[in-house]
Amino acid sequence: MGTTWGSRAARAARLVLGLPAPRTAPPGEGVDAWVAAGRPPAPPPTKALTEAGGSAARSAQVPWTDADDDRRGAALRTAARVAFWAVLLLAAVTGVRSWVAPDRPAPAPAPVAVAPPPSFPADAARQVAARWARSYLTWDAARPQDREAALAMDMAAGADVRQGWDRAGRQDVVDVAAGPVMSAGTDRARVRVDILVHTHPAAAGPPGATMPPAQPAPGAPPADGPRWVALDVPVAAVGHRVVVTGAPGLLGLPAAPPAVPALPARPADSALGTETHDTVRAFFAAAGEGGDVAALAAPGAEVTPLPPGFVFAGLRSWQVDTGGGETRTGTATVLWQVGGGQLTQVYRVEMTRVTSAAGQRWQVAAVRGGDV
């Protein structure tokens, strides 16, 4: 009798799950015949029957059992059970490992550092511009080569070191102050330099000059003597150096600075001001001419006296701000004699009350210039 796909699938399921084969009626008999005869179906063959009777006995007792199928089924069942338990064991081992040591996510890649664009070396530009401006506005017709050599130190290679000077006259630079750096790109800028120049008057024009010496306008201050002027210096950053790239431009300075609102008046503690007046006066008297201020300074205070040449000429005023506590601050106006004249200065003085076996007294803890 041929087999169908359904019977083959059922047989495969029985082999995997280890189920017994179904019992069917022998040829010529059916379920109705069993019921009519009153006898139950024959039991499946036992191990003892199989071992004792061999193939013939099995054929006689269970005519519908195929011996080859039994052997193949036993082998398939064994293989299926081994595979089933292997899968269970693998799942158990994998699950336990994931509980104990779960897989860690791969570390995120480190962010790529992007270097910022190089900034213009402003400090180096100020230094070069200030030095070059001093050389540019210093000249002496008797030694023109000195100016040219000084300018060449900070100029780009191949630049004209004469820089427009006609090699006449004499001028000195007293002081320079480098100001803001105004960028003109990634590698170029201009630097504002304030310069105090001292021009020496010329009695007559230089030899070969085609124009007479310039004369000041009526009512204008004399052209000679010290005066401030501004200079815009073009510079460029080349490698690790800053160089001057060309001719600068002279500019004027503002004639008058803007007004600033006055500080609000500070309420005064007149009683404490009177109590500490002599202490403050004695302190500034000792501070002049490099005197000893240790006796009037509070413990731990670091107050440095003025160098020789500054002579105390008087305490114009002393006022202590209102407040409380062991530390108070006041404003002192002091007159110094220096350079053959007198100079008035303003100081903020911090006082500390010191307690000792002899009693309490106020001593100077700190001094700073100005009224803020």
Q: 91: helix, coil or strand?
A: helix
Q: Residue 331: its pLDDT value, please?
A: 97
CA distance 363 to 344: 23
Q: Residue 107: its pLDDT value, please?
A: 78
Local confidence pLDDT in tens for the 372 residues of the chain? 445 656 666 676 566 556 666 665 555 555 555 555 555 555 555 554 445 445 444 444 445 455 566 677 677 778 777 887 877 777 776 765 665 566 677 777 777 766 666 688 999 999 999 999 999 999 999 999 999 999 999 999 888 888 889 999 999 999 999 999 998 888 999 999 999 999 988 655 555 555 555 555 555 556 667 999 999 999 999 988 999 999 999 999 988 888 999 989 999 999 999 999 999 999 999 998 777 888 889 999 988 899 989 999 999 999 999 999 999 999 999 999 999 999 999 999 999 999 988 889 999 999 999 988
Residues of the chain with CATH 3.10.450.540: 122-201+222-251, 270-369
Q: Quick check: 182 and 129 in contact, CB under 8 A?
A: no
Q: Residue 270: its pLDDT value, please?
A: 96
The closest of 30, 60, 35, 31 to 45, measured between CA atoms, is 60
* End-to-end alpha carbon distance in the chain: 119
CA distance 261 to 96: 79
Q: Residue 98: its pLDDT value, please?
A: 64
Element spanning 74, H or E: helix 67-100
- 21-41 pLDDT tens trace: 666 555 555 555 555 555 555
Cβ of 283: how many Cβ atoms within 10 Å? 26
The closest of 171, 277, 165 to 224, measured between CA atoms, is 171
**Tokens (6 digits) for 192:** 């504002």
Pairing state between β 359-369 and 241-244: unpaired
- 220-274 pLDDT tens trace: 556 667 999 999 999 999 988 999 999 999 999 988 888 999 989 999 999 999 9
pTM: 0.56
Which of these CATH numbers, 3.40.50.300, 3.30.300.30, 3.10.450.540, 1.20.1250.20, describes 122-201+222-251? 3.10.450.540
Q: 334: helix, coil or strand?
A: strand
Element spanning 242, H or E: strand 241-244
Q: Which fold has domain 270-369?
A: Nuclear Transport Factor 2; Chain: A, (3.10.450)
Amino acid at 33: A
Question: Could you tell me how far CA 29 lies from the centroid of its own chain?
Answer: 99
